[in-house]
Amino acid sequence: MDRNESRSGRLKILVVSNLYPPHTIGGYEIGCRDVVEALRARGHDVRVLTSCYGVDGPQSDGDVMRWLWASIPSRRLRWTEIYSGLIAKERDNQRAFDRACLQHRPDLVYFWNLGLTSCAPLYRVERLGIPSCAYVSDYWPIRREMDRWYNRTRPLRRLPGASLLLAPLARCSLLVPPKLDEIRNAQFTSDFVRREIEAGGVRLPGASVIHWGIDTDAFPAGEPAQAPRRLLYVGQVLAHKGVHTAIEAMRILAESAPDGCPTLTIVGGSLSPDYVAELKSKAAEWGLESRVEFRGPVARRELPGVYSSHDVLIFPSVWPEPFSITLLEAMSSGLAVVATPAGGNSEILDDCRNALMFPAEDAAQCADRIGRLLADPALYRRLCLAAAETVRERFRLTGMVDAIEERLLRAAGTDVS
């Protein structure tokens, strides 16, 4: 059967993502799995090509091929080691992509995140004549450090005689355009991310915006508490996530109302043990040990219980969030939200209607918004109900997958009428 011939609406799809559960760092890879499983449930034959992050070298795990290398060693290397390591990684990753395409013979390749692996498949898929789409929920297309091969080889291209120097790489199919300047059929998690990528100089023919969606049945809303006192943070415990702002806000609340100060549970892992140690030191210095709990990472299956045992989600992010799954899960679970409107999250939050907002790293304003919820049960209840309603009406997983499936079918040349 010709690749572009109708397959009764069923596709063979190769998903390419640098990370894939159960080996995760953030939320996008969890969302990737949600979409993969939903597409499979609709009858599509979906295989995943991802990195061997979290496992001992390349291996296959059912329909998940963990064949890509996500990075090279982070120790300080001589330039000869750097380039030899990059060449080996790039060669292996391109071969892994070609091998996956040969084995699966996909009707379409669906890219999710190529940061720290290789952007070359975006070009190689065209050479192979396979249609492609991309779901972009991160800034990797304009963060050059996320693909060290491009970053390291760009200076070489400016040298006299560069074509001769790079000829061996060209013969090995390693020479690809020096700039990631186009992504076809991109689906962006938010309009904010779309604008950022476009402003970074990447052309986006056929682009659209498809917001994240979640399974609202998995995160049901309970009855709002009569007196909210249990605050929650969920996410990576890193500086750009602003966890220090939440702890400083707790200090302000404890000083202003020592008998009525709430508790804060911090749920999530960290790639920066120094930052976590600093947070714990501050909490101890300010006498908050009994009020701030560092729970560490929890399995996703435990998150509904975590949300249901808390009243308010604090989301103090400093960096421009692409679009937060955590916000959607907490709102669906009926929590009130106190958050910064950073990045794409402004497309979820509506100040004083379904959340209370404060400026990034402004602990005083964060404490003020929390204090308003504690002092006004009617406001708290209204925000809880509005938050859950927002997710039910606008951010369901089924709606997200409907939109994705339609675009994949069109990109593959399948009749969707």
pLDDT at 143 (0 to 100): 77
Sign for the pseudo-dihedral over CA of 76, 78, 84, 86: positive
Tell me which amino acid residue 401 is.
V
User: Both 329 and 201 in a single domain?
Assistant: no
Question: Residue 170 pLDDT > 50, yes or no?
Answer: no
pLDDT at 177 (0 to 100): 46
> Which residues span the domain enclosing 357?
230-395
pLDDT at 159 (0 to 100): 53
**CA 332 to CA 307: how far, in whole Å?**
10
Which residues, including other chains, have CB under 8 Å from residue 347's CB and lie 6 or more apart?
A: 190, 191, 192, 211, 323
Task: Kindly state whether residue 340 falls inside one of the protein's structural domains.
Answer: yes
pLDDT digits (tens, 9 = 90+) for 115-156: 888 888 888 898 889 999 999 999 998 875 455 555 555 555
pLDDT digits (tens, 9 = 90+) for 293-346: 999 999 989 999 999 999 999 999 999 999 999 999 999 999 999 999 989 999
| 243-272 average pLDDT score | 93
Task: Kindly state whether residue 6 falls inside one of the protein's structural domains.
Answer: no
Determine contact, residues 294/111, Cβ cutoff 8 Å: no
User: Both 128 and 199 in a single domain?
Assistant: yes
Tokens of 339: 């958050």
Task: Kindly state whether residue 148 falls inside one of the protein's structural domains.
Answer: yes
User: Both 267 and 376 in a single domain?
Assistant: yes
User: In CATH, what number is assigned to the domain containing residue 135?
Assistant: 3.40.50.2000
User: Both 163 and 92 in a single domain?
Assistant: yes
User: Both 317 and 181 in a single domain?
Assistant: no
User: Both 314 and 200 in a single domain?
Assistant: no
User: Both 130 and 45 in a single domain?
Assistant: yes
Task: Kindly state whether residue 417 falls inside one of the protein's structural domains.
Answer: no
- Tracing tokens 């101890």 back to the chain, one arrives at 284
**CA 376 to CA 281: how far, in whole Å?**
32
User: Both 292 and 404 in a single domain?
Assistant: no
| 171-191 average pLDDT score | 72
Measured in whole angstroms, how far is the alpha carbon of residue 31 from the centre of its chain? 7
| 60-65 average pLDDT score | 94
User: Both 368 and 244 in a single domain?
Assistant: yes
User: Both 250 and 296 in a single domain?
Assistant: yes
DSSP string, 207-243: -EE----B-TTTS---PPPSS--EEEEES--SGGGTH
Task: Kindly state whether residue 26 falls inside one of the protein's structural domains.
Answer: yes
- Tracing tokens 């508490």 back to the chain, one arrives at 225
| 247-254 average pLDDT score | 97
- Tracing tokens 């929920």 back to the chain, one arrives at 137
Task: Kindly state whether residue 257 falls inside one of the protein's structural domains.
Answer: yes
Rg (CA), the chain: 23
Task: Kindly state whether residue 403 falls inside one of the protein's structural domains.
Answer: yes
Determine contact, residues 268/233, Cβ cutoff 8 Å: yes
User: Both 186 and 234 in a single domain?
Assistant: no
pLDDT at 160 (0 to 100): 58
Q: How does residue 25 score in pLDDT terms, banded at 50, 70 and 90?
A: confident
**CA 397 to CA 231: how far, in whole Å?**
26
Question: Residue 64 pLDDT > 90, yes or no?
Answer: yes
User: Both 290 and 186 in a single domain?
Assistant: no
Determine contact, residues 339/314, Cβ cutoff 8 Å: yes
When the pLDDT of each residue in the chain is averaged and rounded to a whole number, the result is 88
Q: Could you tell me what percentage of the chain is helix, strand and coil, using 3-state DSSP and rounding each to the nearest 5?
A: 45, 15, 40
pLDDT at 158 (0 to 100): 53
Task: Kindly state whether residue 278 falls inside one of the protein's structural domains.
Answer: yes
The count of domains in the chain is 2
